Structure 1
Amino acid sequence: MRDRSETTCGGDRTPPGTARRAALTAGFLALGVGVAFAHGQPGHGYEIDVYRSTPIGYWVGVAVGGTIAVAIAAFGRGSRRELDAASLLGTLSVLSIVALPLLRSYRYYGGGDSLTHLGWAREMRAGVIDPDAVLYPGIHTASASLSAVSGIELTHALLLFPLFFFPLVFVLGSTRFVSALSNSASARGIGTMAALCFVPINKVSVHALAHPSSQAILFLPVLLFLLIRYQRTDGTAFPLFDPFGSAFALGCLGLIVIHPQEAMTLLSMLAAMAVVGTIARRYRPTGELASGRSLSVHTILLGVVLAIWVARYDRARDRVAYVIESLLLQTHEPLSETAARGSTLGLLGGSFEELFAKLFAVTLAFCLLAAGLFLASSIRVARSTSDDRDAVVSALAVGLAPPTLGALVIFAADQGDHYFRFLGTIMVPVTLVGTLALVGVVDRLEARARRSGLGVTRTHLRVALVVVLVGFLALQAVAVHQSPYVYKSSQQVTGGELDGFETVFVFHDEETPLLGFRSGSGRYADAHYGSHTAQNDPDFSGYRDAIPGEVFSESLTTHYDSDRYLVLLEGYERIEVDLYQEVRYTREGYRTVETSPAVDRIQDNGELELYRISPPTS
């Protein structure tokens, strides 16, 4: 059947459907050419900024493909196939940015915790440890299995999940959730584009790299979609025997394996929603909140399995005890870390206000949209004038209370920036509800424009929507990876670094401490040996030793009373001297390394240099 939109008003005028298909074809071609540009220029050495290092041809291709996708999806006209193609084009465009480290053939991506996760995956693949020896073995086991079955390098297999699979799952789950709760013809397209903003990735405690907590957060939209489909589907079967009920239960149990902290957060949300649902069925049995199926069985199941799982690990019990102790004793100032970071940011020429705008401007917009719909839905539920969507939105508002309280508790305790993990979890339902609000606002404005006759047409409103969505996507895309734009260096780990550290670990004398910058060389030891092996190796001296900035800059050759190894990575001088403006490690310290007769270079592969520091003899 011919699409009605293809009727023409003039003899030679191009049918709208043909124009859309031509635009989509051009968009896919532009994206394909751009991806070819990026893949054809791999990042061999360390790149402090993945954005600037990626060829301009890639960015042109992504910009063309992404803009076409947003325009067609936001206008909501055309056949279902055309709208789906637009969503696919937009998804591939943005995911290519998230997956740039893979496209650019980085050996690995993610320092800190991500290197430790690489070591765990290596230990699991080698059979050194069992998967259940790790509190959250999900992505490690999956990556090790993928590597063993496909022959893909483990470093790349471990990147596929955080850089492609889980972001794709987040987009699909978010789109299905929004589509299920909105009757608007444009909900699917707008839902996809809003999901592609990846608002929960806040770059503070939620990242696009191997980080199980982040992957668990990106998995939540799928669970929320299964939750509402279970709750709003009529059925008399036992919850665990219902198709959507059983799928939701399995997803909850899978979340425990990905990361139990996010499972605990989901449990708190389910408990709050179950309690409110039970109260509504008791006192307002005819209301919308009472019409949904009970969540009691799922809440109990998740709570029991989660308790059994975490009780087996000392780390989980110790963390809970530490949080409680910190709250009771108040052994730290909650804002001390923030103040210290603010001081450093000021030295770099930035400010909290600027950084907040870069990282959280789009987040704030979705919060405002969601707050409006939360309030409106709750009022309609209270007045018994609500519909099915209002009941779901109001239930989610109730469910957000426990994780919000949890964020405040973690902020008050000595848990670093972990409260941003709670923020990441909170932003999942906020993004979904904010998207529903955005769809509703656009539809209402169009209806009012038709009635008012003020000259504002549907095309004007949809163009404005395209501008807003493109702006949101651009603001989020330029900050999805760490870069100097947000006063951070790239998380790239080069092959020379991994190979160089392997040589260091194999041939070091097992007695001389090994010094590194900031957190030392321990994360690379985790990646090479696996943390279980490295931490229990009595011959590995200096596992976490870092050289203090003042020692490196002022007394490198006189501070220590015995020999030390010092590892310098290619690119660190640019990071410390140029990006961080010598806040900790100075140019003078590097000159001392190069010129002092008490410092000998004993290894250099172009990306890693190993020096031996010999103190003066008395």
Structure 2
Amino acid sequence: MKRTTFNGLVAGGFLAVAIGILVARASPATSYEPSIYTGTPTLTWIGFGIALAVAVSAALVCRGREQALGIALGGTTVTAIVSLPVIRNYRFLGMGDGLSHLGWTRDIVAGQMAPHELFYPAVHTIAAAFHYVGGIPIERGLLFSVVILFVPFLIFVPLIVREIAGDGLAIGIAAIVSWMVLPINNVATHMGVHTNSNALFLVPVVVFAFVAYLRRRATIERLPLGLSPFSLLIYLTGLGLLLVHPQHMIGVIVLIGSIASIQYLARRRYDDHPMLDHPTMYAHTVVLSAIFTVWAVSNQRFRDAFAGLIIGIFEEDIGGGAEVGQRESSLQEIGGSIAELFVTMFLELAIIALAVGVFVLLVWLGRTALDPETKSQINYLSLSLFPLTGLFFLYFVGTPTMAFRQVGFIAVLLTVLAGIALARGVGALSGVITRPGASAVTALLLGGCLVLGLMTVFASPIIYSPGQHVTDETFSGYESALDHSSEDTPLVGMGHNPYRYDHGLNGLEGEGTLSAGSSTTGTVDPETFEAGDYDEAYRGIDYNFVVTEYDLTRELEVYQELHYSDESIEDFETDSSANKVISNDEFRMYTVDGAEEE
């Protein structure tokens, strides 16, 4: 391809992204959106699609400057997709942990707590800095933080592959796989203000640090205490990851500890092996473990979570098996299935994992032409997957949510290995068909996986999970509800406990903060509500009942009236025990008289 033609295509791609962003910006969300995909104008998606088509082609076919421009185009497009809540002026995104993180950030801004008092203060501190320096709302500062922490993932995945393999095709494929955003599974990792998920996108930075340490062997410009610049980089990036969320620091420690163990075994067994020339990771394992231990054991939240994990391991009704069974039963009642959901949410990850698995097996069998140095680096990462998978099963038995967070961590390593694995696959396929044919097949495969990955970055009805878009009206309604509610009258939701909104609006450090276990908040019993016994639907006492547009979308449209029916809600509107006291386009609150005590 002529350089002028290529430059024209890339310029067209960047123009398409710019037009898509401007169109999305000109169409802000004015009401609750169950899906950011359908809420965003079609012209925006056309622009993004054109840009990604150019980017995928350039990443696969071009090298050097041209490939770098293609990767930059793809990364810009995916960043724009992740930034859609900011671009389209969402007030906030996240109705669970996100609202609690919003509350903690409010506490920091208000001076009610110091950042270091939080177990993972990085996201909140970044948002507070945006608020102080830029004067923007705290909610928007948190959405900016999500984007800032996402970008390193797109940058460092291809850099790691460049450091390990140095092959242009592998770098391009690794970049494309990173655009699929495989660590987000919408089971326990989410694209939004969710510190555990945000931390996943910093893991490649830490991995790059120790790969650079192993490969470059800096022996000059030593720092005090015998540290090399790359050793210091490992500690600093590890500390940064710890401050965003400590769970993935555990994964990094297991990863580096596995590398240290492999190095130890190699030194015991071989007299001549590339691993013997690598600087050891023993000290890094010990130091990072010590940093994590000191930080974690001094925090009550960590101790409670660890105790919950141990209890869950020995409880029969807690764990992944029980939760999957419950989800499968509910899906079947609304015409769905676990198999269908798996295809929608995990097919691209399964394809990538299969490709990586076959490649690693061939490496172990000696059926690849990799140089010994590259093979050593791949063995480090691939062998570490065994203890990391073991950690997943431990979580799965004890705390399913943590298990699927661990899947996100494993997906980061699979993303890195996929670049090298698929590049070797293209080389093998080129021997069967032509090189252009192999590139075309690869482009189609990666393009299909890219579409699947990007269509599930955000929650939406397609995965039976409506988007957690929080509107101005919803915040306004809850603010009024919380102001006018008393401790004697619980605030009750429809399948969604409203206590998180108290966190988001008022912070967590103030007096009288609502919590999940509080008697002043909860959800109505769906069976009693459906039976029309509204006065007994919440413990038979007086309560304030909240209905939002999100609740109605989830229960009536997505769950297809599985728990609550449209008919019962209409009957509730006219029931003598219910009185509407707050109402706007997105929010309604009723006071409900409880059953009279006998």
Question: Which residue is 1:603 aligned to?
Answer: 582
Question: Which residue is 1:147 aligned to?
Answer: 131
Correspondence 1:440 to 2:424: yes
- The 5 A counterparts of 1:411-560 are 411-413=396-398, 415-446=399-430, 448=431, 456-533=433-510, 536=513, 542-554=519-531, 555-559=533-537
Rounded Cα–Cα distance in structure 2 between residues aligned with 1:390 and 1:567? 59
Rounded Cα–Cα distance in structure 1 between residues aligned with 2:457 and 2:163? 28
SS at match of 2:307: helix
Task: Identify which range, 284-293 or 383-392, moves more after superposition.
Answer: 383-392
Give 2:569's match in structure 1, choosing from 590, 607, 614.
Answer: 590
Question: Which residue is 1:134 aligned to?
Answer: 118
Rounded Cα–Cα distance in structure 2 between residues aligned with 1:440 and 1:240? 39
Question: Which residue is 1:8 aligned to?
Answer: none
Question: Which residue is 1:41 aligned to?
Answer: 27
The residue identity in structure 1 corresponding to 2:151 is L
Residues 138, 284 of structure 1: alpha-carbon distance in 2 compared, 3 angstrom cutoff? same
Question: Which residue is 1:28 aligned to?
Answer: 14
Question: Which residue is 1:107 aligned to?
Answer: 91
| Contact map agreement 1:285 1:291 (CA 8 A) in 2 | no
Cα root mean square deviation, aligned: 2.3
Correspondence 1:226 to 2:209: yes
> What is the deviation of 1:136?
1.2
Rounded Cα–Cα distance in structure 1 between residues aligned with 2:518 and 2:101? 22
Rounded Cα–Cα distance in structure 1 between residues aligned with 2:488 and 2:309? 36
Rounded Cα–Cα distance in structure 1 between residues aligned with 2:250 and 2:58? 40
| Contact map agreement 2:503 2:513 (CA 8 A) in 1 | no
- Show structure 2 runs of 5+ residues with no match: none
> What is the deviation of 1:273?
1.4
Question: Which residue is 2:237 aligned to?
Answer: 251
Rounded Cα–Cα distance in structure 1 between residues aligned with 2:23 and 2:468? 21
Question: Which residue is 1:387 aligned to?
Answer: 372
Correspondence 1:183 to 2:161: no
Residues 284, 354 of structure 1: alpha-carbon distance in 2 compared, 3 angstrom cutoff? same
The residue identity in structure 2 corresponding to 1:350 is G
Residues 314, 72 of structure 1: alpha-carbon distance in 2 compared, 3 angstrom cutoff? same
Question: Which residue is 1:371 aligned to?
Answer: 357
- The 5 A counterparts of 1:272-421 are 272-328=258-314, 330=316, 332=318, 334-380=320-366, 387-413=372-398, 415-421=399-405
SS at match of 1:418: helix
Correspondence 1:118 to 2:96: no
Correspondence 1:263 to 2:249: yes
SS at match of 2:30: coil
SS at match of 2:522: coil
Query: Percent identity at matched positions?
Result: 27
Rounded Cα–Cα distance in structure 2 between residues aligned with 1:322 and 1:575? 29
TM-score normalised over the length of structure 1: 0.91
The residue identity in structure 2 corresponding to 1:325 is I
Rounded Cα–Cα distance in structure 2 between residues aligned with 1:44 and 1:499? 14
Give 1:167's match in structure 2, choosing from 131, 150, 156.
Answer: 150
Task: Identify which range, 281-290 or 35-44, moves more after superposition.
Answer: 281-290
Rounded Cα–Cα distance in structure 2 between residues aligned with 1:281 and 1:235? 21
> What is the deviation of 1:557?
2.9
Rounded Cα–Cα distance in structure 2 between residues aligned with 1:83 and 1:543? 58
| Contact map agreement 1:521 1:543 (CA 8 A) in 2 | no
The residue identity in structure 2 corresponding to 1:235 is A
CA offsets 1:582-603 (integer angstroms, 9 cap, x no match): 1112212211232112211111
> What is the deviation of 1:537?
6.8
SS at match of 2:166: coil
Residues 130, 582 of structure 1: alpha-carbon distance in 2 compared, 3 angstrom cutoff? same
| Contact map agreement 1:556 1:592 (CA 8 A) in 2 | no
Rounded Cα–Cα distance in structure 2 between residues aligned with 1:536 and 1:33? 45
Rounded Cα–Cα distance in structure 1 between residues aligned with 2:499 and 2:459? 22
> What is the deviation of 1:82?
2.7
| Contact map agreement 2:172 2:419 (CA 8 A) in 1 | no
Rounded Cα–Cα distance in structure 2 between residues aligned with 1:86 and 1:275? 39
The residue identity in structure 2 corresponding to 1:322 is G
Residues 498, 328 of structure 1: alpha-carbon distance in 2 compared, 3 angstrom cutoff? same
> What is the deviation of 1:219?
0.8
Residues 385, 168 of structure 1: alpha-carbon distance in 2 compared, 3 angstrom cutoff? closer
> What is the deviation of 1:141?
1.4
| Contact map agreement 2:578 2:593 (CA 8 A) in 1 | yes
Residues 398, 568 of structure 1: alpha-carbon distance in 2 compared, 3 angstrom cutoff? same
> What is the deviation of 1:255?
1.4
SS at match of 1:545: strand
Task: Number of aligned residue pairs: give it.
Answer: 591
Residues 343, 537 of structure 1: alpha-carbon distance in 2 compared, 3 angstrom cutoff? closer
> What is the deviation of 1:343?
0.8
Rounded Cα–Cα distance in structure 1 between residues aligned with 2:366 and 2:92? 51
Moved over 6 A (4+): none
> What is the deviation of 1:357?
0.9
Question: Which residue is 1:201 aligned to?
Answer: 184
Question: Which residue is 1:93 aligned to?
Answer: 77
Rounded Cα–Cα distance in structure 2 between residues aligned with 1:524 and 1:94? 30
Rounded Cα–Cα distance in structure 1 between residues aligned with 2:16 and 2:129? 35
SS at match of 2:591: strand
> What is the deviation of 1:534?
6.1
CA offsets 1:520-568 (integer angstroms, 9 cap, x no match): 1111011112233366579x97543111212322211344543211111
TM-score normalised over the length of structure 2: 0.94
Residues 94, 334 of structure 1: alpha-carbon distance in 2 compared, 3 angstrom cutoff? closer
Rounded Cα–Cα distance in structure 2 between residues aligned with 1:333 and 1:275? 30
| Contact map agreement 1:520 1:547 (CA 8 A) in 2 | no
> What is the deviation of 1:331?
5.7
Rounded Cα–Cα distance in structure 1 between residues aligned with 2:226 and 2:581? 63
| Contact map agreement 1:274 1:295 (CA 8 A) in 2 | yes
Question: Which residue is 1:9 aligned to?
Answer: none
SS at match of 1:532: coil
> What is the deviation of 1:616?
5.8
Rounded Cα–Cα distance in structure 1 between residues aligned with 2:596 and 2:266? 80
> What is the deviation of 1:474?
0.6
The residue identity in structure 2 corresponding to 1:81 is R
Give 2:557's match in structure 1, choosing from 578, 603, 606.
Answer: 578
| Contact map agreement 1:566 1:610 (CA 8 A) in 2 | yes
| Contact map agreement 1:378 1:390 (CA 8 A) in 2 | no
SS at match of 2:510: helix
The residue identity in structure 1 corresponding to 2:535 is T
> What is the deviation of 1:340?
0.8
| Contact map agreement 2:153 2:201 (CA 8 A) in 1 | yes
